[in-house]
């Protein structure tokens, strides 16, 4: 198990322990005293409603804090997602004007995601990081006074007062769990504010963080990034910017330059997290498969440690999906496993912006073409559809399907 996954699991257990403690030590006695309802049905209904309201309020508070902090710090808001409720901007072709729209969408994060773009190189991310924490602290103070002023029993006062009091206790507990996770000072299974905070204490990381946001914003708006910074000092943040540059070089046909950038990052692997190192390794293997052939790619794949090997087989991200499909197709000739890997891409696409999806489709299509050249029977038309995100009207889909048919592939379903 990766270090960040282990820490995340421990935090989830800690959050569950906090909830259970509050439940047994605070909520259960109130139920026993009849403060929250006349029967078990009312008690359960109260707890469910309080949990739902508490989650919605605190998740909204988190993203509102990010929105306010981003504005203060000098960032543009491109999209905000609260529990799948996504308000986002759609830009015209010259990216000068935008429209605010709404949709339901998956997100990267514990409970929401805000996508921002720096207005200038000196944009300050600390406001973005700290503002939610300030709002949570204000919430804790306000709820403390409300809870402390509420009566201790319901013999003289209305039962509704007790419901409000214990509802606030549940909401405050949820807020505490969110703060514990989001501000824990380590890298977790998602990018949290605590990790940002300790990392951005170095100036080089602030520069790299803003550069990464700028590159991602351009992809979001459909603008092709033509210039990438390449950092000499390697950290998690600079490595991600360098990797963007490497992928861009690869898509432009500059294969050796691409691999050289990745190798530079891996040469200082002790300065990056395990997950970042894994991403770099997988992209190196992917590019090696496509540019140097199956033997060289497989050689690198077999050098992966057991933990990373098992991670790749689970196809949890697009990097592992690409590498596993190549390895299992070129070495095991297993169409079922290739299909298993490719079908995982749809879920990953849902988390990305439109620009990111287009780039990832290009990278995954290259896998499909390599496999068709090796053995067309490893692919079928449904796999091509998955790669193209079910967009059967796209030129990418039509070109890949024609190539598949020209290679002797047979259509498996009616169009």
**pLDDT tens figures, 113-122:** 999 999 998 8
What pLDDT is recorded for position 334? 94
What pLDDT is recorded for position 76? 95
Summarised one tens digit per residue, pLDDT across range 328-381 is 999 999 999 999 999 999 888 988 888 888 899 999 999 999 999 999 999 999
In a domain, 265, yes or no: yes
What pLDDT is recorded for position 158? 45
In a domain, 413, yes or no: no
- Kindly give, in sequence order, each residue whose CB lies less than 8 Å from that of residue 30, ignoring residues fewer than 6 positions away: 36, 162, 166
* pLDDT band for position 415 (cuts 50, 70, 90): very low
What pLDDT is recorded for position 156? 43
Question: If you average pLDDT over residues 161-184, what whole number do you get?
Answer: 90
* pLDDT band for position 159 (cuts 50, 70, 90): low
In a domain, 415, yes or no: no
Residue 154 CA to residue 152 CA, distance in Å, equals 7
CA distances 217 to 132, 227, 279, 356, 382, Å, are: 22, 14, 21, 10, 32
Are 284 and 300 within one domain? yes
Are 57 and 153 within one domain? yes
Summarised one tens digit per residue, pLDDT across range 190-229 is 888 999 999 999 999 999 999 999 999 988 888 887 788 9
Please give the residue that has the higher pLDDT: either 155 or 280: 280
Are 53 and 160 within one domain? yes
Q: Residue 154: is its pLDDT beyond 70?
A: no
What pLDDT is recorded for position 149? 78
Are 172 and 315 within one domain? no
What pLDDT is recorded for position 96? 66
In a domain, 169, yes or no: yes
Are 245 and 113 within one domain? no
Residue 287 CA to residue 323 CA, distance in Å, equals 9
Q: Which of 144, 171, 196 is the last residue of a domain?
A: 196
Q: Which of 168, 196, 224 is the last residue of a domain?
A: 196
Are 120 and 215 within one domain? no
In a domain, 411, yes or no: no
Q: Supply the range of the domain harboring residue 108.
A: 3-196
pTM: 0.87
- Kindly give, in sequence order, each residue whose CB lies less than 8 Å from that of residue 38, ignoring residues fewer than 6 positions away: none
Q: Residue 66: is its pLDDT beyond 50?
A: yes
Are 264 and 399 within one domain? yes
CA distances 244 to 38, 72, 226, 279, Å, are: 60, 28, 11, 11
Are 286 and 173 within one domain? no
In a domain, 414, yes or no: no
What pLDDT is recorded for position 351? 85
What pLDDT is recorded for position 135? 93
Question: If you average pLDDT over residues 3-20, what whole number do you get?
Answer: 90
Please give the residue that has the higher pLDDT: either 4 or 399: 399
Are 142 and 170 within one domain? yes
What pLDDT is recorded for position 333? 93
Q: Residue 407: is its pLDDT beyond 50?
A: yes
Summarised one tens digit per residue, pLDDT across range 178-196 is 999 999 998 887 888 999 9
Are 155 and 263 within one domain? no
What pLDDT is recorded for position 190? 81
Residue 314 CA to residue 341 CA, distance in Å, equals 8
State what percent of residues in the chain have pLDDT above 90: 67
Q: Which of 164, 196, 228 is the last residue of a domain?
A: 196
Q: Which range, 90-94, 270-274, 383-387, has the best average confidence (pLDDT)?
A: 383-387
Q: What is the DSSP letter of 224?
A: P
Tell me how many domains the chain contains.
2
Summarised one tens digit per residue, pLDDT across range 67-82 is 999 999 999 999 999 9
Question: If you average pLDDT over residues 132-157, what whole number do you get?
Answer: 78
What pLDDT is recorded for position 405? 94
What pLDDT is recorded for position 242? 96
CATH number at residue 287: 1.25.40
Residue 144 CA to residue 163 CA, distance in Å, equals 15
Are 181 and 226 within one domain? no
């Amino acid at each position: 198990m990766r270090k960040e996954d282990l820490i995340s699991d421990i935090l989830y257990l800690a959050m569950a322990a906090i909830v259970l403690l509050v439940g047994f030590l605070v909520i259960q006695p109130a139920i026993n005293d009849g403060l929250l309802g006349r029967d078990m049905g009312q008690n359960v209904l109260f707890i469910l409603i309080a949990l739902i309201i508490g989650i919605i309020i605190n998740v909204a508070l988190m993203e509102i804090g990010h929105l306010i902090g981003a504005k203060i710090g000098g960032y543009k808001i491109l999209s905000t997602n609260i529990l799948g409720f996504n308000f986002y901007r759609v830009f015209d072709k010259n990216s000068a004007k935008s429209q605010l729209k709404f949709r339901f969408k998956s997100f990267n994060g514990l409970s929401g995601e805000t996508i921002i773009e720096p207005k200038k190189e000196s944009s300050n991310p600390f406001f973005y990081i700290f503002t939610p924490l300030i709002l949570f602290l204000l919430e804790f103070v306000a709820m403390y006074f409300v809870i402390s002023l509420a009566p201790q029993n319901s013999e003289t006062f209305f039962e509704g007062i007790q419901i409000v009091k214990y509802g606030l206790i549940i909401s405050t507990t949820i807020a505490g769990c969110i703060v514990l996770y989001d501000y824990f000072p380590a890298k977790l299974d998602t990018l949290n504010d605590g990790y940002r905070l300790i990392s951005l204490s170095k100036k080089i990381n602030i520069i790299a963080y803003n550069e990464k946001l700028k590159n991602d914003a351009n992809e979001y708006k459909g603008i092709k990034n033509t210039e990438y910074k390449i950092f000499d000092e390697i950290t998690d943040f600079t490595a991600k910017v360098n990797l963007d540059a490497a992928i861009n070089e690869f898509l432009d046909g500059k294969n050796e330059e691409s691999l050289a950038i990745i190798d530079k990052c891996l040469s200082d692997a002790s300065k990056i997290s395990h997950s970042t190192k894994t991403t770099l390794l997988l992209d190196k293997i992917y590019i090696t498969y496509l540019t140097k052939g199956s033997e060289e790619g497989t050689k690198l794949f077999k050098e992966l440690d057991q933990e990373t090997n098992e991670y790749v087989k689970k196809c949890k991200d697009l990097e592992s999906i690409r590498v596993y499909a190549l390895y299992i197709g070129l070495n095991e000739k297993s169409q079922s496993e290739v299909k298993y890997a490719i079908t995982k891409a749809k879920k990953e696409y849902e988390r990305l912006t439109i620009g990111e999806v287009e780039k990832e489709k290009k990278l995954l299509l290259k896998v499909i073409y390599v496999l068709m050249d090796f053995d067309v029977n490893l692919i079928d038309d449904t796999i091509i559809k998955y790669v193209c995100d079910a967009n059967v009207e796209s030129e990418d889909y039509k070109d890949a399907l024609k190539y598949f048919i020209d290679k002797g592939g047979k259509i498996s379903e009616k169009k």
